[in-house]
Amino acid sequence: MSKIRILIADDHAVLQAGLESMLNAESDMVVVGSATDGHSAVRQATLLQPDVILLDINMPGINGLEALEQMRTQAPVSHVLILTMHDDAQYLRQAMASGAAGYVLKQSAGKELLSAIRTVQGGGVYLHPAHARTLAAPDLPAVAPVAMGEISDTQKRFQLLSEREAEVFELVALGYRNSEIADKLALSVKTVETYKSRLMDKLGLQTRTALVRFALELGMLQKTETNEVT
């Protein structure tokens, strides 16, 4: 089995060394490169085309969010996982809207980070439940407000879903697993998987990352009631 190839982009040498040691100790992971500023992170991502990029936000040169925008075109196959000390709603929201596959706090960088890496490598989106609640906060501005009376293409596509498909869509976007969705909606896991496959086809989406971006465009994650993700 091939290992998950990881690039670490962080300007703290001690943390970077610790991360490299921890990740290389995993049988399914290998660190293939490192960078200490935004520009070199983009160059390394372009050169190495890693499976997963651990990207800090605060770095010299260009910051991590600016680097993320460039990585989307320079390393399109790489899954970018934000690893930061900032437990901040706007950073979180901007990172996910810009194409990040997940968001992990440095103080949680242990088993959670390993789980996050494996999740995004498998095509999923990694969000701690607390971050899902942050995205659901009603006081955040909409990503792209639509003028009164207008219906966006995103909204038109979403209206193709049945009521049950829409419910499953929302829970997937909030980070719930299939088994958790099944419990919440009193369905079997197989039925949830069927609904999920059907709604992805209707919306023309291929990955969970794309589904989260779609939900952000809808403004759904901002409008969801907080008690839905407790």
Question: In the numeric block, which tokens belong to residue 169?
Answer: 């869509």
Contact between residue 113 and residue 15 where contact means Cβ atoms under 8 Å apart: no
Whether the pLDDT of residue 88 is over 70: the answer is yes
Mean pLDDT of 99-123: 86
Q: DSSP code of 87?
A: -
Whether the pLDDT of residue 150 is over 50: the answer is no
What integer pLDDT is reported at residue 136 of this predicted model? Answer: 58
3-state secondary structure of 52: strand
CA distance 8 to 64: 12
What integer pLDDT is reported at residue 14 of this predicted model? Answer: 78
Whether the pLDDT of residue 145 is over 70: the answer is no
What integer pLDDT is reported at residue 152 of this predicted model? Answer: 65
Q: Which residue has the higher pLDDT, 162 or 48?
A: 48
Residue 81: pLDDT band by 50, 70, 90 thresholds?
A: very high
Domains contained in the chain, CATH given: 4-127 (3.40.50.2300), 153-229 (1.10.10.10)
What integer pLDDT is reported at residue 227 of this predicted model? Answer: 33
Residue 135: pLDDT band by 50, 70, 90 thresholds?
A: low
Whether the pLDDT of residue 58 is over 60: the answer is yes
In the Cβ-directed half-sphere of 119, how many Cα atoms lie within 13 Å? 22
Bridge partners of residue 81, in order along the sequence: 54, 102
Whether the pLDDT of residue 65 is over 70: the answer is yes
Mean pLDDT of 133-147: 48
